Amino acid sequence: MSQNPLIPESKLPALGTTIFTQMSQLAQQHQAINLSQGFPDFDGPRYLQERLAFHVANGANQYAPMTGVQALREAIADKTAGLYGHKPDANTDITVTAGATEALYAAITALVRPGDEVICFDPSYDSYAPAVTLSGGVLKRIALQPPFFRVDWEEFATLLSPRTRLVILNTPHNPSATVWRKSDYAALWQAIKQHEVYVLSDEVYEHICFAEEGHASVLAHPQLRERAVAVSSFGKTFHMTGWKVGYCVAPAALSAELRKVHQYLTFAVNTPAQLAIADMLRAQPEHYRELPDFYRARRDRFVQALADSRFEILPCEGTYFLLADYSAISDLDDVSFCQWLTKEVGVAAIPLSVFCADPFPHKLIRLCFAKQEATLDAAAERLCKV
């Protein structure tokens, strides 16, 4: 029992405010160019905005169905079929959620029982671990190493145990900007096929992939998708992270379980945004098809602008993040360096060590290039001076 009855004993005692909130606040405080928290500084498509206004004006303002509006689930089913050669059932396999964050939480809560082991790959997105902890799960983290952050499948096999319940992966990967290959899924399948292990595949950057073989989705793997929850986010795809609409695709039996959680976590996602996104997916599929080119141009411009800096830029195969090594500039640890960079140089970035359980001695920061060209140019000019 907590000593002071007014202060509840924390279920997440080690957890503070997310690094994204911290760094965005610091950026604001020092009027720094904010390349930390991942969000665009430009608007989403005009058509999408118009459709939202249309549906609000036309009375689509009451609860949506718990699983998501039919038109959106059908549009997602068709998009998935076109991209990954597998058409999920719009009624039983697709659930619209309040951003990818809710889908991740619902999937973890539905699948992980007390004492179950969950394998994830560090650096890992910050919402996984607290959800696993709240479900009583035990996280087993595999530390991936820069610059390629590839999974060592032999090491993975040594972590599997009779208690392993779930593997959480993320491709394209935030924050390393690397992507999984088809061969990674083949190796994952070989490792887990004899066990009752599920897969949670965070694919929020599925449309921001620059790799030659394109985005490798778990949904394209015939066996793995039978035990996988694939998660996506329209916030990334349509440049409107504030709308908080995402979805997950999973076989009916898995979806039924995660819907039990979703039903009492949010019940349903806001109706007019869902209808607007359904219209957008049908009317302008070129938006997501052209997204790799759209972001590749920004990435290349930013990399070019940083060519004369003392930062060493790591390869970026996906996401709208770029890793920069600052070993030539400073001995500071990455958290201190990001604070210094924000206050003294006027550019906010994200340190990588906060995504890792083990000490992460590398001098790497994450820069978000989902910004207008003028913003990227101004940031690069400052970064070239350090």
CB of 242 to ligand GLN, least distance (A): 11
Identify residues 197-216 at the interface with ligand PMP (CB under 6 A).
202, 204
Binding site for ligand GLN (CB under 6 A): 18, 20, 37-38, 174
Smaller CB distance to ligand PMP: residue 180 or 309?
A: 180
Identify residues 102-161 at the interface with ligand PMP (CB under 6 A).
125
Q: Are 251 and 93 in contact (CB under 8 A)?
A: yes
Q: Can you say how many angstroms the Cα of residue 60 is from the centroid of all Cα atoms in its chain?
A: 29
Both structure tokens of 138 = 């035990």
Q: List Cβ neighbours of 116 (8 Å cut-off, separation of 6 or more).
A: 135, 136, 137, 138, 163, 164, 165, 166
Radius of gyration of the CA atoms of the chain, in A: 21
Mind giving me the DSSP string for 303-344?
HHHTTTSSPEEPP--BSSEEEEE-TTT--S-HHHHHHHIIII
Smaller CB distance to ligand GLN: residue 18 or 25?
A: 18
Does 233 engage in binding with ligand PMP (CB under 6 A)? yes
Q: List Cβ neighbours of 350 (8 Å cut-off, separation of 6 or more).
A: 19, 20, 23, 36, 37, 175, 338, 365, 366, 368
Cβ-closest residue to ligand PMP?
99
Which of residues 36, 174, 201, 339 is near ligand PMP by CB under 6 A?
174
Applying CB under 6 A, the span of 41-49, 96-104, 143-151, 289-297 interacting with ligand PMP comes to 96-104
CB of 138 to ligand GLN, least distance (A): 24
Residue 123 interaction partner, one of ligand GLN, ligand PMP, none, beta carbon < 5-8 Å per kind:
none
Residue 37 interaction partner, one of ligand PMP, ligand GLN, none, beta carbon < 5-8 Å per kind:
ligand GLN
Smaller CB distance to ligand PMP: residue 75 or 200?
A: 200
- How far apart are alpha carbons 204 and 174 in whole angstroms? 9
Strand-pair partners of 198: 166
Applying CB under 6 A, the span of 61-69, 97-105, 182-190, 345-353 interacting with ligand PMP comes to 97-105
CB of 170 to ligand GLN, least distance (A): 11
Return the residue matching tokens 């140019």.
Answer: 377
Residue 18 interaction partner, one of ligand PMP, ligand GLN, none, beta carbon < 5-8 Å per kind:
ligand GLN
Does 38 engage in binding with ligand PMP (CB under 6 A)? yes
Smaller CB distance to ligand GLN: residue 37 or 232?
A: 37
Q: Check whether the bond before 359 is cis (ω within 30° of 0).
A: no
Residue 170 interaction partner, one of ligand PMP, ligand GLN, none, beta carbon < 5-8 Å per kind:
ligand PMP
Mind giving me the DSSP string for 192-251?
HTTS--EEEEE-TTTT-B--TT----GGGSTTGGGGEEEEEEHHHHTT-GGG--EEEE--
Residues at the interface with ligand PMP (CB under 6 A): 38, 99-101, 125, 170, 174, 202, 204, 233, 235, 241, 246
